[in-house]
Structure 1
Amino acid sequence: MRFYLLGVSLFCFYACIAIIPAIFFLFNIPVNYFEFPFALLVSFWCIWALQKQITNTLYVPAFLINLGCALILFVLTIIFCQNFYDTSFDGNWYHMDAVYNLAGGWSPVYEQLRPEQTSFCEKYLNHFPKLSWIYGASVYVFTDNLEAGKSATFLLSIASLCVWQYAAQKALKIPAFPAWIFALIIASNPVQMLNMLSFYTDGQLAAAYSIAIAFFILFTGDRSKVNLLLTLFTLAILANFKFTSAIYAGMLSLALFIFCWQQQFIQLKKLVFIFFAWTVFTYSVIGFNPYITNTMYNGNPLYPLSESSTSVFSRQAIYPANFLEMNWVEKFLSGIFAEPTWARNPDISYVKNLFHQTNLHSYTGGMPELAGFGPMIPEVLVILFPLFLAACFLIPLKVLKPVLILMGVIALTILINPEAWILRYVPQFWLFITAMLYLVWIQPKLKYLACLLALGLLLNNYMMVREYLIANSDKTQGLQNQFALIKKNIPDYQLYHGWTHSFKNRLGANGFDTAHLVWIPAEDTTAITFVGSLGARFRKIVK
């Protein structure tokens, strides 16, 4: 219970820091310094109220200990993440642009960014869901450190670990140690781990999805109002990360509605009112921009996706050449069983040679589009899937049925995504894999094989995370060394920020005069590229 309360507390920190500025946007109040401490105070009250409901009592010293531990972990996630530069492509391109503009006073409900205010991404920033960016901007404004704003994925991953170990014990009846192992597997979702040091939204989406499922499972067991509230609140947050996550949240909320209706422990009128209120709060309060503003000005809440998927996703540019003629199933399976790499037209993907060592270099820059869940997943699935089928025949239907229904709901949220072969777009597939593992584990005849597969999943994640952390540490150190070299004699160097606003801001944050940047062409052989930048360069002036 203690760790569960800790996880709920960490989740409350994230929720309040992200949602309160989103609500203030309705009153044309931009992100500011005072919102962060105000959000923390609101989260303290929420934690107090939730702890009282969850434990049916409130022992003040226990509350203070829980709150203190949560605050320490919260601060540690910020300290850890701010020591690394985000060197990812999309992070440097439009995610950091969004955070900078929000921190600089942009109020998206009342103002649209102009092209010159962004790095060729004003359509994304004006029309995409913004909750992850709002969190980043809030932390950035308060700490005066942009990199601190990317701590959200790490924070939510710890919350997921704490919530899931409790859900595994209480709802799934797993003993304490195996429950921690299952929770660790879920919380170390590769999408979360490989987005931990960047502003990518997918890691936060993955963690929030898994937390929502944990609250959902707990609610099906005890049907308490507090677990229903936590489930709905988590789904409201999930809906405001990306357009796809809005659909995921809608489908999960529909599943929750059907469950409540079938069980008949809430009157239908009251149930309809609860879910109507949730819809309004989710899409018209937190998500007024983009869902309502997109509808008002562009005729569709999912604009620009409503124009066509190619408006934000070009198959000819993104797909491996051999994927262009594949159907959904072929792409999905090929993406899972491929060699880990970034392969875009005219390059092609290659099927991984099972049970042979593979190159891990593709994981140094985050999650590759092929084999995104890791180098050992093909081998794990080849062994796990037949064991899962065997378990389905051996496990009593009463135990099997609810797990298969939940897996079916998760599978539907995967199937609706046409680009599910890029696994960071469907991080919930990791939960599907874990559910298969759970069914194998609860069958006594297969338990030891399940333990070996669990070890394989953890080893798979360790291999990826190790490559990722080492590479990001090296890139951060490399960029710091370049800055230090230039600072030894600034007048001797010319600087160019590349094609992104974010690196210009990064230069300014490191004490460089951004008013005197000069264009340095890529063909200049005397120029050196800044580590982790998008075309930023510097050169020594020849006298």
Structure 2
Amino acid sequence: MNNRVSLIGYLLLVFTGINLLAASFLVIMNQSIHGYIFIFSFFVSLIFLFFATEREQRFSRKTVVNLVIFIIIIGGAIKISEKFYDFSYDGQAYHQEALIHMKDNWNPLYEQLTTGTAQDLWINHYAKGIWYLGTIIYELTGNIESAKAFNFVLLISTFLILVGYLQTKLNNVGLVIVVSSLMVLSPVVTNQIFTNYNDFFIVLLIINLIVGYLNYYETPNYKILINIFISIILLVNIKFTALGYALILTGIPILLYIYNFYIAKASRKEKKQKILLLAFTICSSFIVAIAFVGSSSYIKNTITKGHPFYPLAGEGKVDIITVNSPAGLSDLNRIEKMYVSIFSETYNGLEEEPKTKFPLSVSKEEIFYSKATDTRIGGFGPLFGLIVILTLCLSLIYYRKIDKEQGYVFLILVTVIMISIMINPEPWWARYVPQLWIIPLLFVLLIVINKIKSYVAYAILLVYMLNILIIGYATMGDLYNSQMAMEDQLESLKAYSNEAIPIEFGVYEANRARLEEYGINFKKVDSIEGCQNIIQLTYSTARACLDNQQN
């Protein structure tokens, strides 16, 4: 915690958490979410920086540099998010729509959204933590794309926290950076980081939470408890499944301390104090996460609909899986589904059944499907099946050489993570169980921490890198092409100034914010049927009719 890398990482996490808590307070007080929360959170974060820095260094040049780096990361995150459009389905269909309504003073706790569209159901009842954060930035900048800024803030925060922790375990800085990068740049993260999707937050916060539990187990202090507290609050309010994941992950400290009770040399009094403080932190974080931050979802859903997870559970629940499941999966159990997804060709369609493949092969079709924000089959990349096979080989070859205590800690981590994966009835979809990505990397870490020379371990890291390069190439290439196409279209629409351009938005009503911010004169219409000169926005259902327009 005392090194710069960890400190900046925790500072970014604290900043994110304060923004969420402050926004939740305003919602409960029946107030709108405002951009000044950002400024308030910044100054509160400075207080954390002051007390988290060693006393003799609080007014040193090093602290000033830390502050400058913090500001650069926050500012850079906002600028990057502003530059890239969200082309995802969920992002344009209801995530941005929720942001627009919250910016326009809709209070999700006391008011029911009644626009008459199908998106009302999801916006009214889904967990809203990420929307609170996005609304703060959106309200501050007036740019709806800037709402993605916390995507990059949390990504960098997780990376720095992980690097800081692994530096205490490994002397090889290069290896620490490589493993940390692979941990945080999973396919789900890579595919979704430039969108308003929220699945990728799950794996980042699970990493943060695991590091927090391990850190506290080894060197407990109040700064680590703050990390655990904020990580749980954020995780619980991403989506409903994340609440289950957060609860299951509490098995990590429980099992660690059960083991520690029999072997640690600390006195029983010291153990008791440490465990009680951690237990209090975890319990209070769940209470705050559900009853305070989650009041507009978990509590409101329970009161109004009889179930905290409505509309995915309870009376009148909506089945969103059947229509999204590829052919051939319905008759399989969850283990079979996960196996099929891992060892089949990467594919995002629904009509064809998954096709198993040779683990070393990568086809053009797989690269094409790897760019999707919600790739269904093979969503961890075309080489993840090979990674799993190599990991099994690694464990079989070297399990006898592992230090017993480290092996036990590793077993706890893997067991708890696997349980969190298998409680989900649909573990075939990578976006639903993004934490699966980190398990093979934990095997590699166990080997290198035990200073075992293994070509298999380095082969796994190499395949991980190739896998990410494939997905990054497909994702960034498609993003660049889409970005260029969208900018050309918006410029074309802006050039027509004779009269308001009729726009049929379809499902993507939120595209109105994009057009308004670009200065395009338009009017919403229900249909442009019969129009001869149509521009359909890239990756959008919005269509503009230019029949009566003149350049």
Q: Do the two structures share a fold, i.e. TM-score over 0.5?
A: yes
Q: Are 2:182 and 1:185 equivalent residues in the alignment?
A: yes
Aligned counterpart, 2:150: 152
AA in 2 matched with 1:223: P
Aligned counterpart, 1:391: 398
1:385 touches 1:436 (CA, 8 Å); kept in 2? Answer: no
Give % identity.
Answer: 22
Aligned counterpart, 1:416: 423
**Aligned-partner Cα distance in 1 for 2:48–2:543:** 45
Alpha carbon RMSD of aligned pairs, Å?
Answer: 2.4
Moved more, 119-128 or 89-98: 119-128
| Residues 1:399 and 1:309: Cα distance change in structure 2 (over 3 Å) | farther
| Residues 1:236 and 1:33: Cα distance change in structure 2 (over 3 Å) | closer
AA in 1 matched with 2:228: T
Which of 334, 355, 361 aligns to 2:360? It is 355
**Aligned-partner Cα distance in 1 for 2:27–2:400:** 53
**Aligned-partner Cα distance in 2 for 1:257–1:394:** 26
**1:23-422 superposed matches below 5 A:** 23-52=25-54, 58-116=58-116, 119-170=117-168, 172-257=169-254, 259-260=256-257, 263=261, 265-267=271-273, 273-307=280-314, 311-315=318-322, 317-344=323-350, 346-359=351-364, 360-422=367-429
Aligned counterpart, 2:506: 498
2:391 touches 2:443 (CA, 8 Å); kept in 1? Answer: yes
1:109 touches 1:289 (CA, 8 Å); kept in 2? Answer: yes
4+ long deviations beyond 6 Å: none
**1:194 aligned counterpart, secondary structure:** helix
| Residues 1:51 and 1:239: Cα distance change in structure 2 (over 3 Å) | farther
1:343 touches 1:349 (CA, 8 Å); kept in 2? Answer: no
Q: Are 2:461 and 1:461 equivalent residues in the alignment?
A: no
| Residues 1:297 and 1:308: Cα distance change in structure 2 (over 3 Å) | closer
1:5-55 per-position Cα deviation (integer Å, ceiling 9, x unaligned): 111122222222222101221101111132221122222222323334xx8
| Residues 1:226 and 1:494: Cα distance change in structure 2 (over 3 Å) | closer
**Aligned-partner Cα distance in 2 for 1:269–1:395:** 31
**1:409 aligned counterpart, secondary structure:** helix
| Residues 1:536 and 1:516: Cα distance change in structure 2 (over 3 Å) | closer
**Aligned-partner Cα distance in 2 for 1:533–1:115:** 20
1:240 touches 1:287 (CA, 8 Å); kept in 2? Answer: yes
Moved more, 412-421 or 393-402: 393-402
**2:545 aligned counterpart, secondary structure:** strand
**Aligned-partner Cα distance in 2 for 1:308–1:181:** 47
Which of 529, 533, 536 aligns to 2:536? It is 529
| Residues 1:537 and 1:7: Cα distance change in structure 2 (over 3 Å) | same
Which of 434, 443, 455 aligns to 1:448? It is 455
> Structure 1 residue 147: deviation in Å?
0.6
> Structure 1 residue 126: deviation in Å?
1.3
**2:35 aligned counterpart, secondary structure:** coil
AA in 1 matched with 2:510: S
Structure 2: gaps (5+ residues): 262-267
**1:515 aligned counterpart, secondary structure:** strand
| Residues 1:247 and 1:436: Cα distance change in structure 2 (over 3 Å) | same
1:495 touches 1:539 (CA, 8 Å); kept in 2? Answer: no
| Residues 1:269 and 1:375: Cα distance change in structure 2 (over 3 Å) | closer
Aligned counterpart, 1:509: 517
Normalising by the residue count of structure 1, what TM-score does the alignment of the two structures yield? 0.92
| Residues 1:352 and 1:541: Cα distance change in structure 2 (over 3 Å) | farther
AA in 2 matched with 1:35: I
1:342-364 per-position Cα deviation (integer Å, ceiling 9, x unaligned): 121x3322123322232211133
**Aligned-partner Cα distance in 2 for 1:485–1:270:** 60
**2:503 aligned counterpart, secondary structure:** strand
1:431-488 per-position Cα deviation (integer Å, ceiling 9, x unaligned): 2121122234346555232122212212211221122112112112111111111222
1:186 touches 1:431 (CA, 8 Å); kept in 2? Answer: yes
**1:428 aligned counterpart, secondary structure:** helix
> Paired residues, what number?
535
| Residues 1:229 and 1:34: Cα distance change in structure 2 (over 3 Å) | closer
